[in-house]
Amino acid sequence: MGNRQLILDRALKEISEGMYVNLGIGMPTLIADRIPQDSHVMLQSENGLLGIGAYPHEKEVDPDLINAGKETVTTVPGASYFDSAESFAMIRGGHIDLAVLGGMEVSEEGDLANWMIPGKMIKGMGGAMDLVQGAKRTVVIMDHVNKHGESKVRRRCSLPLTGKGVVDCLITDLAVFHLDHGQLKLTELQPGSTLDEVLSKTEADIRIDERLLSNQ
């Protein structure tokens, strides 16, 4: 099983029937294809769409029907369209149950950096700063280390912050963490990973669930 598939399959478990969910740009949008068609989950996009379906097949592509990442999408029965002001009113008003976002770095205190790398061109900050404050719960999915092998689960974020203490759950290709009393707590190991491997690749000072320690 590939790293990305591990992350996406575990993230799907955070989504329950009846939820209103925002999927961030990048890897999170791939979750749309994994949600059963008969489920009562409504996916919201900050560019003005509630009721996103799976990615379209070639014959289904409508260039005017896109998500916030400008990818073409489909809709589910009951979908609705609205302007950005209405969309952000939903987010800021606390009507989104869950935001699943990508991450560049997460700190041991649940801070998130995911919107820019200094010196690199960006299109804008997008809706992440509103989502981490307005959504009832925030799940971040990302690789555990960067392309240089450096931990992305850090003591302090080195990149500009999206929000402080906003990450409720962090899912990487190696492990799952939950924010517990202001500090990340390692609660699960991904299939194929070990506690020693996770600790060796985690810069942050984390708590460890007693169940994981007892299995060593």
Q: Give the residue numbers marked as catalytic.
A: 46
Classified as helix, coil or strand, 190 is coil
- 17 CB neighbour count, 10 Å cutoff: 8
Give start and end residues of each alpha helix (H) in 96-185. Answer: 128-134
Angle, CA of 133, 165 and 5, to the nearest 5°: 85
Residue 191 amino acid letter = P
Contact in structure between 101 and 112 (CB atoms under 8 Å): yes
- 90 CB neighbour count, 10 Å cutoff: 18
β-pairing, 105-107 vs 98-102, is unpaired
